[in-house]
Each structure stands twice: as C-alpha cells, then as structure tokens.
Chain A
Amino acid sequence: MELRFFIIRRLLLIIPTLIGLTIIVFVLMWSLPHTFLASAFINPKAPNRAQQIINAENALGLNQGIVLGYLHYLGNTFTGNWGYMTLSNPIKYSGTVLSGIGLFFPNTIQLVIFAAVLSILISIPLGTYIGARPNSLADHLGRIFSLSFYAIPVFVLAIVFQVIFGQGVIAGNPLGIFPISGTFTITSQIAISPPSWLISGVGGVVLSKPTHLIVFDALIAGDYSLASNAFMHLVLPVLVLTLSLLAGILRFLRASMVDAANSEYVKTARSKGVPEGKVIKLHMRRNALIPTVTVLGLLFASLLGGVVLIEDVFDYPGIGYLALSTILSGSIFGVLGTTFLFGIVLISANLLVDIAYAILDPRIRY
C-alpha cells in the first residue's frame, strides 16, 4: 500500500479514537451527582440562578437518560460550550473552560516545542555518534548521562536546577542567573502602567496578546528588554524538559544503533565498499531510528505528565498549571475540559509518530 493511502487511513482512524475519548470523559462526568453538575456548569455570576440551573440541566440532558445525555455532551463539546470554571488556587480565574484553555495552552505549546526540537536536534547526532562507538569513552559518558537524567524524576531535577541556576536562591551564586518562576518579571513600571498588549487581571497571571506568548508579543511590540527577560524565564523549564526527553531518546537510539551495527545488512554495506561514515549514517542510523520513533510516542505521553509537574514547580502559566488549578479548585468542568485536551494532544502526537514511523519503515503499511 502506498504511503499516502496509509496516511489517509490513519487520519480517518482518528475519528473512532476521538469518539472513544469523548465516551470516557462523558462517563466520568455522568457518574457524578447531576445537581452538582448542573450548578457547576453555569456562570456563577449570572443573575437568576435557579432558572440558569434548570437551563443547564436541559443543556446537559441530565434528565433525559444516558444516551441522550451523551449526545448533548457531544453537541456541547463540538459547539464549544465546555461549561464554566471558577478557579481560586493557585490561578485565580473565572470564565468559560474553553477561553481559559485558549489563554494558557499557547504557553505549554511553546515549552513543549522548544524542548522537543532541542532534544531531537541534540540526541540524534549524539546518539549516532556514541551508538557507532560502543564501549568507547564517549559511549560510557553518554550512557551515564542518559541513565541519570532518565531516572531522576523531572520535578526533582527542576528543583535542583532552581537551586543551582536560580536567581537569588543562593546568595552570591555566580551561576544563579535564571529567574525561577513565571513568564516575565513584573516591574513596578509595568504594574503601574501596563502596555496595551498585556492583559492583566486574569487571575494572578498576566497574559499578553496577540499570540499569548510573552517572548513573541514583546518582540512584536518592540520591547526587547522585556523579550529577553521573558526568554530568560523560559530557559530553566525548557532545559529540564529537554534533558529528560533527551535522555530517553539517547538511550533508545544508542541501543538500536548497536543492534543495527551487528546486523547482516551493515556487513553487506561494508562488503560493497561503502565508506564508514556513510555506513553509519545511511545504513545504521536509518534503521536505528525506527524503534526510536516508536518509543518517542511513549516518551511524549510521559512528557505531558512532566509538563504538569514542571509548570507547577516553575509557576509557569501553561495548561499543566491550569489542570492543577482546576483540580485544587474543585472545578469539575475545568477538569473534564483539560482531560479532553490532554487526550487530543496525545492522539495527535501518536498520529505524527505513526506517520513518521511509516515514512521511515517501508514494511509498515497496515
């Protein structure tokens, strides 16, 4: 089967997966007391509360049985009516779930993309290098490095990095140059007269427009000192996330490089007179990437878990921080909304991994 048919089929397969996801989230919701659901669904500030609750019961289909209830849930999900959430701890926010996600999600995307790109850019050449030289000094160092960072939980790593590199954590530490919390430093000047592109007042978090990413928004607005300040805030969370992801990829790539080196087709390549560099890059690495990419899907799932922890440690206003707030504030629709979002992210990551897998390995066309 040709590659593009595979990709089309794989894209179509998303539909049943998404339906499965909605069923799971719906069942989680439906198992809760219905009156509680109805009262959590509405805007708490709305007048005429009693009428609003009755409206919410109708909107959620709470009194129409589980099947119609599910259909109502589907309708609400796809029309963008994800309910209200009122958060108090640690983020202070009140509004619809969807707009809350819209505010916080870009920051997480920024974090994850930086970490993923950096770790892939570093780990693939490094893994190729050490995998082609098993039991050399470089290999031993690489293995110690990757095993340690693979084994240390990200939140421990985050706290250790905050202590070592954090600004003002240890007095007089020459390495302590990176801020340890938030996305930028709120100076008194900004606090008194915030520039028009900063949206303040969304809870304890200051957000920006149009992209919601402070670094880019500051660059767009031409405030370079603020941009560099925001960039410094990004360094530590990205570094921690990169290291944990890098360690995982490195370990698997190294192992599959060693596997490939012992294979018959590498012997064939050498018997043809292919120069050693090309044997490593074309014949060994091309095959070693296949198992590594498979593992990448799993690593990505653990990365999402890591994001929640890292955003909490660094007070970074991303989706993980939001998810934590919804739990701590007991906002049921916030929890359901972020759960659904995490599901979608994981599904799309797996889609990308599967497509990459099929491109790399011609044998995979099921």
Chain B
Amino acid sequence: MYSIQNLEDKESKEEAKEEDAYLKVTDLVTNFYTSRGIVKALDKISFSINKGEIFGMVGESGCGKSVTALSIMDLVPDPPGRVVSGKVEIDGFNIFSDLANIVRIRIKSQTDVKVKRNKRALKKHNFMLSKIRGKKAGMIFQEPSLSLNPVLRAGEQITENILIHNKKPIADSLINRANLSLDDLKHLVEEVQKNKENVRSILNEWCRSNALVDLETQINSIFRNYSDPAEIESEIVSLIKAGLTSVDKRSLIEARDYYSYIEKAENLQLSLYAAEEGSDRELISSIEKELEQLRLKEGTRYRFYSIKRIFTGRKVERVFKAEAERRAKEILSLVSLPDPERIMRSFPHELSGGMQQRVMIAIALASDPKLLIADEPTTALDVTTQAQILRLLRNLNKLVGASILFITHDLAVIAEMCHRVAVMYAGNIVEVGEVLEIFDSPKHPYTVGLLGAIPTTQAKTDAGVNMHTIPGSVPNLITPPSGCRFHPRCSFVMPVCSQSKPKLVELETGRKVACFLYSSEVDD
C-alpha cells in the first residue's frame, strides 16, 4: 500500500514553501482549569510543518510540548484541559472551526470557572475528529507499554485502525483481485521468466495496470523466493484469491458501493464543516444541496443494505478483516519487526519495549496518514533501542513521505533527526529555524542557555569549570511572568521585557525569534 517515493523528492522539500504546509497551527491557546487556578499551558503558539518534513519541538519539562501534541489532535484530557482558541489546520482542514459552539467558558474567578459543553456540537466535533485522527495524522506516545491496550492482541489494534478508515479501498482492491484472470497472471510469469533483470519494473507496471499496487511488495518477494514458474503462479494465486472463495463477487460489489456511498457522504459532511467556518453562504448551501441529493438518490438504497448487513454481512466482513490483517502484516514488516505473523498474535505484555514502540508506530501508520506526531517516542526506551527507533522514524519519513512532529527534550536527538526545530519555553515558541542554524547561532537567550547546558566531557576535565545552567526555574503557569515569560531568568533583560510580550518575528527566511533584542514588535 506504500509506494516508495523517489529520494530526490526529499531534496526539493528543503525549499518547501509556506503553501506546502501540511499542518498549520495558528494562535493556539490551551488552558487547564484546575482548582488551584487557570494553567495557561499554551499561549498563542503558531507554527507550521511542511509536507515530508521532520519538525522538532524542544524545551524543558512542563513547557507545553506534549500539550501542543495533544491539542493538535484535540486529545487534551477534558476536564480539566481545553483548547480555548486558535486554529489547527491539518491538510487544510481546521479541526477547531466550531470551537466557539462546543464550549462556553465563564470565568468567575481564577479558581471558579464554569465550562459548559454543548452536547450536539460536541457530537459533531467528535465525528469530524474521528475522520481526521488516524487517517490524516497518527500519534505515537511516550510510554509504549501503557499506550497499547493490554487486553487486545497487537494485530487487533492495528487492524482496528485499518478497518475504521479503509473499508472502501479494501473493497476496491478485493474486487480488482476477483476480476483478475488467470491468463493475465500466466502472462506476467512468462514475461518475468524472459526478462529476469527487469522484474521490478515489469511488476510495477503490471500491478499498476491491474490496480493491484497494494500487493506489489508481496508479489515481488514471491518472485524472489521461488524459482519454479508453476510454484510462483500458485503462490501468487493463493495470495490474490486468498479468502475470496468464501464470498461471491456480487456481495463484494454491494459492499463496495455501500462504503463508497458512506465515504462520499462523510467527505461532503466534512467539507460542509470546513465551509461553515467561512461565511460563504453560497458554498455552504451548494454543499448542503449536494449532500441532500446524495442521501435522497443513494441513501434510500443503502438503508436496506445496512439492515441486511447485520444478517448476511459476516462473510464479507471476514474477508475485509483478512485483507486488513494482510495489510497490518505488511506495515509490521515496514517498521522492521521480524516475524509479523507472531507479533500479530501477541499481546502487548509479551513484547519488549522497542517492539511495543514499533507496534505503536505501525498503529499510527496503519491508515497511511501524512503526519506523524511523536511525543517523546524514545524517552522510555534504552539507548540502543532509542537509536533503532530514531533510525526507523527517519527511514519512514523518506519511505512513506509522512511529515513528523517530533517532540523531545533531548537536543542531541533533535540534531540527529529534524529538519527544522521550534524551541518552546513556558507555553510560548521562542525560536524557530533550521536545525543547523539554531545549533550554530542560537538567537534567543533561552536557546543560547539551553545549548550551553548540554553536558560535555570538557566541563569535567577542565578544573574549576562548572556545568552551565540557566538560573532560576520554570515559572508557574498559573501566574506566569508578565511580558516575556523568560525575562526573570534572562541575563539580557531590559525594562520592556516585563511590560510587553515580544512577537515571533521572521529575522531571515525560515528563522523566527521572539525577543526584544532583535525586534521591538509587540504581540498583543
């Protein structure tokens, strides 16, 4: 299901433009309403991640890195947390377009806040999120042993994701396979026998013309592992027709039509939500009309089918599940897990930490999302496993072409992994730029301090040289410092710093800093 992208693609990404942004976060504010006061965890942060880019996010504990990751997927534990304002656009779709309708927050005092949720709007919001989460963005968490459901097999957890988002593509692929004639296959095997050097390109073309791209890697491995043409043929047939014997083509087509109707309706619904954000009445009404027409024209046909499915759909569902399992195994070998067969049957506690994290990555990638949010994915692992996971993520970034939001407190990991990096401090982004530039010439005093605090062997050997630290400690976010939140700890502090908040301004292309040392622009 993954087509291997050309490596040259990556180079061109270096000069990616702003329009190429896959994830765009604008003025995101997330608060936690606790009994001790309002924790202002995110204070209007903005950044964007381009397609195919690995974007790092670094900062001390409690600076809001993880809250950023959770806010992007609207997974902040609610209560007490809540995204209050701002935009998160994933692939151009703002998931917080209806934020004002979902919650009304009445602040009586710091400790007495009434959060009123609108159940109907929340239901709509959750429906929308369930179409975005997993499909457009996947997420990896810090503790793999806690993040996997202990009572479900690894296989079930991966196929769950596949079956939620890919019913229609699976149906399409199954029908294509059912349509394939054996003569076609014989022809392919003969051709490969004649022209052995070019197996890959022949195969690629053949798979493309028969719409079987998702089986390409497996057919390829069959050609590699077997030499006898008859054997190859029977292997491929058993791969392609696996499970199809138990179900007739008519019910497959019926299922496909049903799921494509569902998908069409859902997509229209989503674009309706997107349109509702803007005030283009004409667009809204045209989508509404289209949706209504679709429901009138096709919906009635499927109302009966959805009932019929309860009684007779088992067989079709079983074939779907088998196909999802095949895809899951493919993804497991993509994250370089040996013996996918066994892993599929294992429960999480039977796997090691590194394997668990790979399974997590497989789950996140199962529906081929173009954004992977990795929230300290290596913190809980030992050093060698860490290196393997990092290498895996970097390879996946090239192979699958997914952007990665990589959150960590480890600067070395950032230097190793990322193209660009944002430095966070106390709920603000203080500096953004290319990794090398930031490491070579940090601008913001906090970044300078952070880089200076990396322990080196020199500090130990040079007698009298103490390890460098930033004075003071992370501020309490219930009562954050006025103006620039870093000013009490800053050695370049000026009077203006405690009065107003510096704006994140672009110094040179792709380099943004929020500090009055470089610009006097004020963020209101």
Residue A233 interfacial (CB < 8 Å):
no
Q: Contact: B151 with A361, CB < 8 Å? A: yes
Given A268-B360, A361-B151, A362-B347: A274 and B164 interface contact (C-beta under 8 Å): yes
Contacts of A268 in B (CB 8 A): 139, 141, 147-149, 157, 360, 363
Could you tell me if A265 and B347 are in contact, using CB atoms closer than 8 angstroms? no
* Contact digits for A277-290, partner B, Cβ 8 Å, 1 yes 0 no: 00000110011001
Cβ contact within 8 Å between B149 and A267: no
Instruction: Give complex CA distance A270, B74 in Å.
Output: 10
Task: Name the one of B130, B139, B147 contacting A274, with C-beta atoms under 8 angstroms.
Answer: B130
Task: Check B143–A264 contact: CB distance below 8 A.
Answer: yes
Q: A64 an interface residue at 8 Å Cβ cutoff? A: no
At the interface, yes or no: B126 with Cβ under 8 Å from chain A?
yes
Q: Is the CB of A286 within 8 A of B138?
A: no
Neighbouring B residues of A361 by C-beta, 8 Å: 150-151
| Chain B CB within 8 A of A360 CB | yes
Query: Which of the residues B146, B151, B363 comes within 8 Å of A272, measured between beta carbons?
Result: B363
Bound form: Cα–Cα A263–B149 in Å: 9
Most chain A beta-carbon contacts within 10 A, residue among B129, B130, B132, B364 = B130
| Pairwise interchain contact B133-A270, C-beta atoms closer than 8 A | yes
| A262 close to B (CB within 8 Å) | yes
Answer yes or no: A45 CB below 8 A from chain B CBs: no
A287 touches B150 (CB 8 A): yes
Q: Is A269 an interface residue (CB 8 A)?
A: yes
Contacts known (A267-B75, A268-B141); A273 close to B130, Cβ less than 8 A: yes
Would you call A363 and B150 a contact (CB within 8 A)? yes
Asked if B229 lies at the interface with its beta carbon under 8 angstroms from chain A, I say: no
Known: A274-B130, A275-B130. A287 touches B363 (CB 8 A): no
A273–B146 CB distance below 8 A: no
With a cutoff of 8 Å between Cβ atoms, the chain A residues found around residue B43 in the complex are none
Contact A273 B149 (CB under 8 A): no
Interface residues in B67-91 by Cβ distance below 8 A to A read 70, 73, 75, 77
Q: Which of A265, A268, A272, A283 has the most CB of B within 10 A?
A: A272
B-contacting residues, A98-147, CB 8 Å: none
User: Could you tell me if B146 and A264 are in contact, using CB atoms closer than 8 angstroms?
Assistant: yes
Most chain B CB neighbours (cut-off 10 Å) among A271, A290, A360, A361: A271
Q: A272-B363, A273-B131, A273-B161 are in contact. Are A264 and B147 (CB under 8 A)?
A: yes
Contact A362 B349 (CB under 8 A): yes
Contact A276 B75 (CB under 8 A): no
B327 within 8 Å of A (CB atoms): no
Contacting residue for A273 out of B133, B152, B349, CB 8 A? B133
Instruction: Report A-chain residues with C-beta under 8 Å of the C-beta of B157.
Output: 268
By a CB distance below 8 angstroms, the chain A residues around B363 are 268, 272
Cα separation A323 to B349 with both chains bound (whole Å): 47
Collect the chain A residues with CB atoms within 8 Å of residue B148's CB. Answer: 265, 268
CB contact between B77 and one of A262, A272, A274 (< 8 Å): that residue = A262
Interface centre among B141, B149, B152, B349 (most CB of A within 10 A): B149
Closest to B136 in A: A273
CA distance A362 to B349 in the complex (A): 9
Question: Is the beta-carbon distance between B147 and A273 smaller than 8 angstroms?
Answer: no
CA distance in complex: A195, B157 (Å): 61
Given contacts A286-B151, A360-B151, A272 and B347 within 8 Å (CB-CB): no
Q: List chain A residues, Cβ under 8 A from B165.
A: 273
Known: A265-B148, A362-B347, A363-B347. Is A272-B126 also a contact (CB below 8 A)? no
> Separation in Å of the B75 CB from the closest CB of chain A?
6
How many Å from the CB of A333 to the closest CB on chain B?
A: 47
The contact of A276 among B126, B139, B149, B164, by CB within 8 Å, is: B126
The residue that B149 contacts in the complex, of A262, A269, A271, with Cβ under 8 A, is A269
Contact of B75 among A263, A271, A287, A290 (CB under 8 A): A271
On whether A273 and B347 interact (CB within 8 A), knowing A267-B147, A268-B148, the answer reads: no
Residues of B within 8 A of A270 (CB): 73, 75, 133
CA distance A263 to B148 in the complex (A): 10
Contact call A263/B347, Cβ cutoff below 8 A: no
Kindly state whether residue B160 has any CB partner on chain A within 8 Å: yes
Complex interface bits, A332-366 against B, C-beta within 8 A gives 1, otherwise 0: 00000000000000000000000000001111000
Contact between chains at A265 and B75 (CB < 8 Å): no
* Cβ–Cβ contact B160 & A267, under 8 A: no
Q: Which residue of A lies closest to B69 (CB)?
A: A271
CB proximity of B23 to chain A, nearest CB, Å? 15
Q: How far is the CA of A263 from the CA of B150 in the complex (A)?
A: 11
- Most B-side CB within 10 Å, residue of A274, A286, A290, A361: A274
Residue of B nearest to A362 (CB): B347
Q: Is B177 an interface residue (CB 8 A)?
A: no
Chain B residues near A263 (CB, 8 Å)?
Answer: 146
Point out the residue from A265, A267, A272, A276 that lies within 8 Å of B150, measured CB to CB: A265
Residue of B135, B151, B165, B367 with most partner-chain A CB within 10 A: B151
Chain A residues with CB under 8 Å of B141's CB are: 264, 267-268
| Complex contacts, B349 vs chain A, CB 8 Å | 362-363
A283 touches B75 (CB 8 A): no
Task: For A290, give the chain B residue with the smallest CB separation.
Answer: B151
Beta-carbon contact of B77 and A287 below 8 Å: no
B160 and A274 form a contact (CB under 8 A)? yes
Knowing A362-B349, A363-B347, say if A273 contacts B151 (CB, 8 Å). Answer: no
B401 interfacial by beta-carbon distance below 8 Å: no
Neighbour of B73 across the interface among A271, A286, A363, CB < 8 A: A271
Question: Does the CB pair A271–B126 fall under 8 Å?
Answer: no
A271 touches B139 (CB 8 A): yes
A362 touches B75 (CB 8 A): no
Minimum CB–CB distance from A359 to chain B (whole Å) comes to: 10
Interchain nearest-CB distance for B150 vs A (Å):
6
Among residues of A, the one whose C-beta sits closest to the C-beta of B142 is A264
Q: How far is the CA of A270 from the CA of B76 in the complex (A)?
A: 11
Give the A-binding residues of B (Cβ under 8 A): 70, 73, 75, 77, 126-127, 129-135, 138-139, 141, 143, 146-152, 157, 160-161, 164-165, 347, 349, 360, 363-364, 366-367
24 contacts between A and B (CB under 8 A): A262-B77, A264-B143, A265-B147, A267-B70, A267-B75, A267-B147, A268-B139, A268-B141, A268-B147, A268-B148, A268-B360, A270-B73, A271-B139, A272-B363, A272-B364, A273-B132, A273-B161, A273-B165, A274-B130, A274-B164, A275-B126, A275-B164, A287-B151, A363-B150
Q: Which residues of A contact B (CB under 8 A)?
A: 262-265, 267-276, 282-283, 286-287, 290, 360-363
